[in-house]
Structure 1
């Protein structure tokens, strides 16, 4: 496939039909690599990372480089059974691009194709990143020393599709766009027994119920009301029958906040509540809190100001500013190390949210997004 016969809709549909889970994106990586390799651009270099073999980086050497501009697209899918009924629905049972990463990859390829054909002024690094949904692939790549020397961008950009926005609309904001998040994994162990003799047991269900209720006070009593936060327990498992007190309960949930220091404070409060309840109920709390690379997405003020001014002043681009969202994104880790900007791209499916088994983005957003990003980056490199 050459640049001139690049069909972005066909590419998106192929990617959508062949989703792969985090760290298992081998076919996806090969497909992307084969497309880029076929272009044979003299200023294009492809790089793979042996320690994270599903990652793919592409570097373009600029004509008169003043900086290196980075652009990232995530490539993994979710363990969701697709229910869209589309003719190009997922061919893998229980796996779906329900977060729109097929759109992310396709837009990135469209932008990359333009600059592979028309040499950019500045150097560019495109990152097709695995494991955004799980395992924080962005942080893994950073800690592997991927972004050094000529492969280190001076500024990084990325988008996330947004079904609630009109197809092709672009939005971002100064400050924090997405929250940071940490996972809660809790196992409570006690002494099970007959339901008729609770005094002879250590009831893990009562302890679990207390934990669920107590952590709800963290946001209401420890987080500044104007900042906001979330503590949600989304999974509770215990017991098999109503007349037996089980000896183990498992809970899982999420903690989210717009500020990293508040997120760390909330995690500490969860630890303290768990320690206290273990003593009160005489049970064992095995608590694991995992943040990994899911830091708040803090847009760089100077880069974002330039991005907003350009997008808002171009009459051909549908741009708006937006409110922050509790969405989690491991791009937050990258742009806490390298300044950058993340933004929404509307895909016009107001009836379905991200991670919905029926999510069906409007594909017209692809071309619109590609054109807007090319225009902005070309302007940025000429400034």
Structure 2
């Protein structure tokens, strides 16, 4: 296969969109990606599958005179969303959709890899097609399984996320944090059930849960520096079985988001304190548990990001937009906590939000994104 045309790229994207798969189940996606890559010129390529992480795929591109190894990551999983776009290439897998645009991500990565299969880079490149970004933190799993050891460990790592609020093909980035870190929080309150007519003989966990939720609202408003920002959202509350029985148990499930790991840890500490206070005040047992997994803040490396932004601003073929941090999560943050790098946005110009059933990215963003990334990687290889 020679260099992919714009139509080739659109066809690839549409195929990927038709057959989305959930985290750690990306079997068809893996096979399709492998089949496409195997058609590329193989002179400089080494393809690696990972038995411990069977849907992952890595490709090593040997540089002509390498000073470093540059990593590029794309995520490959989809979401449990029922598609409502009405597109002729809409998802054929019921209840699953590329509602976060990972089909665009993969297509761009394939386009960049295809270019360097035809034009040998100076530096070594490692392309990582990562499963399970949306859940199960595939980046963390891969790192802990030793995927990035030896020659497969990049000296620096790059990756993109599509953004429907930016013009198609535009590149967005910023110094510091691009995406927030996220932590799941589960709270179990245990008291004593009883008859609705005799509250004095019971210990009502509906009341305790309500007070817990109310008190938590003061953490962000009174314990967090407003310039730094943080979010606590409780999206689920379960308690009781019937209207005339006092609930002896309640469960609250939510999420914490912060732009730095320090902020997330601060909010976690304050939540524990509130839980202890509720337990004392209501004579209840309050168990609170947290799970962050690999969803650390996406904190861009200062020197690499400064260079990336400088390139994007001076490159006549790239439309660069400096963006604000977003409270959405991304497990690339875990990899950036281990390997310096930069994450950036690729504009896809759509009225629908990420994770929505009607997301329909502009396909014109694909070639523009590939061209900007190729030019950046070639520019990066001329730097010391």
TM-score (norm 1): 0.96
Would you say 1:151 and 2:155 are equivalent positions?
no
Alignment of 1:278-289 (within 5 A): 278-289=279-290
**1:53 equivalent in structure 2:** 54
Indicate if the aligned counterparts of 1:188 and 1:248 stay in contact, CA closer than 8 A: yes
Task: Confirm or deny: 8 A CA contact 2:179 2:325 kept in the other structure.
Answer: yes
Match of 1:374 in 2: 374
Offset of residue 2 of structure 1: 5.9
SS of 2:161's partner is strand
Within 1, Cα distance between the matches of 2:294 and 2:59? Answer: 23
Equivalents in 1 of 2:23, 2:373: separation in Å? 27
In 2: Cα distance, 1:203 partner to 1:79 partner:
36
Map 1:49-128 to 2 at 5 A: 49-128=50-129
Secondary structure (helix, strand or coil) at the match of 2:32 reads helix
Aligned to 2:314: 313
Cα distance in 2 for partners of 1:186, 1:134 equals 20
Which position in structure 2 is the counterpart of 1:276?
A: 277
5+ long unaligned stretches in structure 2:
none
Report what 1:294 is aligned to: 295
Shift of 1:328: 0.8
Please say if residues 2 and 35 of structure 1, whose CA atoms lie closer than 8 Å, have aligned partners that are also in contact.
no
Contact kept, 8 Å, 1:163 with 1:361, in 2: the verdict is yes
Distance in 2 (alpha carbons) for counterparts of 1:25 and 1:2: 27
* Cα distance in structure 1, aligned partners of 2:106 and 2:125: 16
The CA distance in 1 between the partners of 2:313 and 2:134, in whole Å, is 31
Q: Distance in 2 between matches of 1:201 and 1:40?
A: 73
Shift of residue 339, structure 1, vs aligned partner:
0.7
Mapped to 2, the partners of 1:77 and 1:198 lie a distance apart of 48
Q: Deviations over 1:279-335 (max 9, x none)?
A: 322233232201111111111111111111111111221111111111111111111
List alignment gaps of at least 5 residues for structure 1: none
Q: 1:126: how far off?
A: 0.3
> Is residue 217 from structure 1 mapped to residue 192 from structure 2 by the alignment?
no
Matches of 1:324 and 1:69, distance apart in 2: 25
Q: SS at 1:272's partner residue?
A: helix
1:344-379: CA deviation from partner (whole Å, max 9, x where unpaired): 111101x21111111111111111101111111111
Partner Cα separation in structure 2 for residue 251 and residue 55 of structure 1: 34
| 2:2 paired with 1:18 | no
Aligned-partner SS, 1:255: strand
d(CA) in 1 for partners of 2:213, 2:331: 26
Per the alignment, residue 28 of structure 2 pairs with 27
**Cα distance, 1:179 vs. partner?**
1.1
Residue aligning to 1:235: 236
Aligned-residue RMSD, C-alpha: 1.5
1:323 paired residue number: 324
* Rounded Cα–Cα distance in structure 2 between residues aligned with 1:302 and 1:244: 61
